[in-house]
Chains A and B, each alone.
Chain A
Amino acid sequence: MQTVLSIAVDAFAYGMVLFIICIGLSVTMGLMQVVNLAHGGFAMIGGYIASYVARDMGLGYAAAVLAAIIGTIAIAIPLERFLYRRVYAQPQLIQVLMTIGITFCIIGITNYIFGPTLKTIPLPAALSGPVDIGFRTIAAHRLFVMVCGLAVALGLWLLIERTAFGIRLRAAVDNAAMTSALGVRTEFVYAVAFALAMGLAAFGGVVGAEFLPIEPYYALRYMVTFLVVVSVGGAGSISGALAACLLLGAVDTTGRYLFPDFGNFFFYLAVIVIVCAFPRGLLGREQARG
């Protein structure tokens, strides 16, 4: 029973980390139809900035998170304007190549600036101790991650379902040409959504650093994991991404606990089975594409 609970808590926390990072990827893929393999790279930039602010400058955790989000968005906006915008309507292979190129550049440049070592982000005292939640104690950081994940899910749901910006966003997802004919500046919607997605990636990279350590090849190592989550969940669907993150988090964590020798074996096997069974993702919608 103890094992089951431990697995459940770890799986849920890990799933939430995946969700915070991947939901931005899902949004950009559903909205702009761009396969952004560099998404993990932005999470990595966030992690490097946070590590620099918290460890080397000695500022607090909150300041580090804030700096990571703002810094990453500041880097992402010009990239969207000058690189991504050119490949929105291109075939997927072109997008894959461009974004792999951006990933390589991010890895090369960040490691040139910050040095090729593992980056730690020191946790504040309030998050590093255990917390008693009645029937057992869990690490406060896990609880924090879960709360963050749920808050992000709720916030995004409110933003997309309840605000004017959300209406424009959904309209642009459904039919970009018609939306812009109706007077919505779709380019502006794209840019804001992209910035939001990258900000979330940075946020997820920082709060998830305990699960996915910030290291020199972060962007490549977890690129596959993030893509898998989105293709299992279905591009552009928040509930699909949430379901995929929880499911894959559970598969991965359970596999690690029960069969530690087989590492990622079960994860990739599950991915192949799920993608073969649901080629459009668990809750993905029909894309208007041949």
Chain B
Amino acid sequence: MSETRPLAASGRRWPRDVIGLAAIALAGGAGYVLFPDSLAFLTRIISIALLVLSLDLLIGYCGIATLGQSALYGAGAYAAGIAAVNGLTDPVALIAVGALAGGVAGLLMGAVLLRAHGLPQLVLSIAFVQLFHEMANKAASITGGSDGLYGIAPGPLFGLFAFDLYGKTAFFAGLGLLLLVFAALSFVVRSPFGMTCRGIKEDPLRIRAMGIGVRPTLIKMFALSGAVAGMGGALGAIATQVVGLDSVSFELSANALVMLVLGGFGSLYGALIGTVIFLGVEHEVSAINPFHWMTLVGVMLIAVVLFAPRGLYGVMTDAVARWRGRP
């Protein structure tokens, strides 16, 4: 945003990355030990976390405002679901199908969205997800329409671990996938490509003057973001064995944006923190009264915008910096 922090140095940061990955694995393990009865919910958190990470790639690193990210998530979910119904049972292959479909949808979305800026861009992204929603709804012979897509029966993972009733395999498969994706993305956002994207976010004109094509770079990021979101969707399809219309809805896009902002955009950790807190609180509060939950989300959003524009992760890093004494 408008603060003038220097971009993170691209020097050796791998020890911090290893610690970060270990922390995620530890948090996942703690979730497994503490909530052994709600593994399905934990897997849903991981699936949505991939969606929020993919949104962070566009909003946090490229400065593209989009409310249509669930189109990419849904593309992955439906592609994996349809492939599974038609006889492809290997879970790894299903995830790959989801990534591919999400990536293609991302390319398409990038090609449409990059034609406009500001409000028209936002509206295009909304129209895009609504169009996907209508297509999934109307092509009921392929997608199951409003009944949802049933009959997804993934085979055992690596031929060894069958998907059980308690969701153990799905949970560990999801956690492994999240760690892999997170490691890859930590590398990507600090690569020259990632730095170019951040440069475009700060000042597109200057990047163009340096002889770098803004549009091709952003389209690449759209494809990458689509692949990540598509993997999230495929994971959701495999874990719940059903794909519903809500996976391509405007509401899911808006919620993903809220999660990202809550955690803090422009940081991969922020995306994860926001997802866990949002879904955790939603799980508790919306069971009491869904309208209380909406009011609470609204108040949280307003508070974050007014008092912590860099999200909870920003608050945490600021606190750490203050504790160490300002550099």
Contact = CB atoms under 8 A, between A and B. Distances in A.
B300 A101 contact: yes
A6 interface: no
A228 to B, nearest CB: 5
A238 interface: no
Chain B, interface residues (CB within 8 Å), range? 35 or more
Interface in A55-107: 83, 86-87, 91-94, 96-98, 100-107
A87 to B, nearest CB: 7
Contacts of A109: 295
A273 to B, nearest CB: 10
A103 B251 CA distance: 13
B127 A271 contact: yes
A265 B134 contact: yes
B134 A279 contact: no
A272 B128 contact: yes
A130 interface: no
A108 interface: yes
B157 interface: no
B1 interface: yes
A242 interface: no
Interface in A105-128: 105-109, 111-112, 116
25 contacts: A83-B302, A86-B306, A87-B305, A93-B65, A97-B257, A97-B301, A98-B305, A100-B257, A100-B298, A100-B301, A101-B297, A105-B295, A109-B295, A220-B251, A220-B254, A224-B127, A224-B130, A231-B123, A235-B119, A272-B128, A275-B116, A275-B124, A276-B115, A279-B120, A281-B120
A227 B138 contact: no
A105 B303 CA distance: 12
B116 A102 contact: no
Interface in B192-237: 204-205
Nearest to A262: B138
B119 A230 contact: yes
Interface in A262-276: 262-265, 268-269, 271-272, 275-276
A132 B131 CA distance: 39
Interface string A211-223: 0000010001000
A98 B130 CA distance: 23
A101 B301 contact: yes
B291 A116 contact: yes
A286 interface: no
Contacts of A289: 117-118
Contacts of A264: 130, 134
Given A100-B254, A264-B130, A265-B138, A272 B112 contact: yes
Nearest to A270: B127
Contact of A92 (B119, B294, B306): B119
Given A35-B122, A105-B299, A109-B295, A279 B115 contact: yes
A165 B128 CA distance: 40
B242 interface: no
A44 interface: no
A280 interface: yes
Interface string B48-70: 00000000000100010101000
B71 to A, nearest CB: 11
A122 B273 CA distance: 48
B103 to A, nearest CB: 20
Interface of B: 1-2, 59, 63, 65, 67, 112, 115-120, 122-124, 126-128, 130-131, 134-135, 137-138, 204-205, 250-251, 254, 257-258, 261, 291-302, 304-306, 309
A contact face: mostly helix, strand, loop, or mixed? helix
A279 B295 contact: no
A131 B202 CA distance: 59
B118 to A, nearest CB: 6
A29 interface: yes
A86 B305 CA distance: 10
B305 A261 contact: no
A275 B120 contact: yes
A93 B302 contact: no
Given A97-B304, A280-B120, A104 B115 contact: no
A94 B1 contact: yes
A183 interface: no
A104 B298 contact: yes
B295 A112 contact: yes
A290 interface: yes
B294 A96 contact: no
B298 A108 contact: yes
A168 B154 CA distance: 66
A96 B134 contact: no
B320 to A, nearest CB: 24
Given A93-B59, A265-B131, A224 B295 contact: no
Contact of B127 (A220, A261, A263, A268): A268
A108 B205 contact: no
Given A263-B134, A290-B205, A105 B302 contact: yes
Nearest to A230: B119
A266 to B, nearest CB: 9
Given A96-B67, A228-B123, A268-B127, 17 more contacts: A83-B306, A92-B118, A92-B122, A97-B257, A97-B258, A97-B301, A98-B306, A100-B301, A101-B297, A101-B298, A101-B305, A108-B296, A108-B298, A228-B126, A231-B119, A235-B119, A271-B127
